[in-house]
Structure 1
Amino acid sequence: MANILVVDDELGIRDLLSEILNDEGHTVELAENAAQARAARAAMCPDLVLLDIWMPDTDGVTLLKEWSGTGQLTMPVIMMSGHATIDTAVEATRIGATAFLEKPITLQKLLKAVDVGLNKPMAKSATGLMPMASVPSSVGAFVAVSSPDLTVEAAMTGGTLPEVVLDIGPQSMQSFNLDCPLREARDEFEKSYFEYHLARESGSMTRVAEKTGLERTHLYRKLKQLGVDLARSKRNAL
């Protein structure tokens, strides 16, 4: 059994992950921000870290980059986020993240990612040890990464991906405003992405959920959050 550090600013998520991992026999340490994560990382030398991206003091990708740059990335790190995007997934895997889990995290995906992370061999990098990285299954359908020093795999499939790819059919010709804040640009892309799949699947939420790798309940929440007009999407599919 392993020593696992869970870093997330949401109390409910920390408690839930801690309960699940404790039931699996792991020893769990909790941190609610980057400062606590740094202290816990130094004190316990975790076998694996579950690291949230959006935190109030220092975001998870910045903390991951800090550990990598100082030679402290000696353990597998699984990134977590409610907004799994191409840019964040690619950046995290390039730095050395083992996997990327999109919230809400299902029990099956969590345990699978933890098991893969704990059993994945470590690879040498220019800054020290780092885990072989994986792109999340929810993003792997349209993202791949290539780097001379980094092997990136599609999460849960083990297939090596050859290059950066963005292929969303007709929507690939759509232009996006790159001068706006990152969160707005990400939401704009995700809205176009889901509208494309809704039109392609004739508005079938079941097929869109399968295509995008999301559970139906999470998909509904995501579409509502992005302001996707489901009725319009169905009309466009006709």
Structure 2
Amino acid sequence: MANILVVDDELGIRDLLSEILNDEGHNVELAENAAQARAARGRTRPDLVLLDIWMPDTDGVTLLKEWSTTGLLSMPVIMMSGHATIETAVEATKIGAQSFLEKPITMQKLLKAVEAGLARNSPGMARKPGMQGVAVSVLADLTVEAAMTGGQTLPPVVEMGPQARQLFELDKPLRDARDEFEKSYFEFHLAKEGGSMTRVAEKTGLERTHLYRKLKQLGVDLSRGKRSAAS
């Protein structure tokens, strides 16, 4: 678990990154501009910073340079932007940024960059089990329908345990039978992953937004997995 500072003037970006990183077990501090970032940097001493380049008061590259020249760049900084040029990214790297993430940021790229940054900052830090497959997760762009019809290979029954041997009533409309299967499928993975939406998204090959929408549609109890893990 690490302390991560997310600096971005867009509320939606802050909320999304915070949700993903919190789901991974990290403590997240949020700042919407350079002034708040300076205060948070002095208050929390983050292990890693995710820093947006374009902000209303002071841009991220200028803030990065400020930290570098004042000896405050003691943590890995990952720059983020949806409009930056290659020259800007190179400049940030020369100043001391560890890497650059182009928006929109996918969950896989985010976790991979964060893992690399934390590993660089603390070489002895143990790898998080759920992040080991981030670099090879090529199924993130699959739709729910593709995942349910063969795009995602399910683990063998012997590995899934007794829960996977649930019998389904087949004498019903296809849509009803499919919904019943999908609900059991997602409930199984929620229980297996301790309720972690990040890991379930990786396991099932779905983007988090699609996963949330699907679980709500199926009426899946999101707290069930966490209760199962605690018991």
Q: The TM-score by the shorter chain falls in which range?
A: 0.5 to 0.7
Alignment correspondent of 1:115: 115
Q: 1:224-235, aligned counterparts within 5 Å?
A: none
CA contact (8 A) 2:6 2:49 kept: yes
2:50 maps to 1:53: no
Alignment correspondent of 1:91: 91
Alignment correspondent of 1:35: 35
Letter in 1 for 2:33: N
- Structure exhibiting the larger radius of gyration computed from Cα positions: 2
Unmatched 5+ residue regions in structure 1? Answer: 123-155, 157-238
What secondary structure is seen at the aligned counterpart in 2 of 1:29? strand
Encode CA deviations 1:101-155: one digit per residue, 9 max, x unaligned. 0000000000000000001158xxxxxxxxxxxxxxxxxxxxxxxxxxxxxxxxx
| Superposition RMSD in Å | 1.2
Letter in 1 for 2:103: K
Could you tell me how far apart the structure 2 residues matched to 1:96 and 1:17 are? 22
2:63 maps to 1:63: yes
Could you tell me how far apart the structure 2 residues matched to 1:84 and 1:68 are? 20
Q: Normalising by structure 1, report the TM-score.
A: 0.51
Could you tell me how far apart the structure 2 residues matched to 1:9 and 1:114 are? 20
What secondary structure is seen at the aligned counterpart in 1 of 2:79? strand
Q: 1:43-192, aligned counterparts within 5 Å?
A: 43-120=43-120
- Which one has more relative contact order, counting CA pairs under 8 Å at least 6 apart? 2
Alignment correspondent of 2:26: 26
CA contact (8 A) 2:53 2:84 kept: no
Q: How many angstroms does 1:83 deviate by?
A: 1.8
Give the structure with the larger strand fraction: 1
Q: How many angstroms does 1:58 deviate by?
A: 0.0
What secondary structure is seen at the aligned counterpart in 1 of 2:67? helix
Alignment correspondent of 1:136: none
Encode CA deviations 1:143-180: one digit per residue, 9 max, x unaligned. xxxxxxxxxxxxx8xxxxxxxxxxxxxxxxxxxxxxxx
Could you tell me how far apart the structure 1 residues matched to 2:77 and 2:97 are? 5
Q: How many residues align?
A: 123
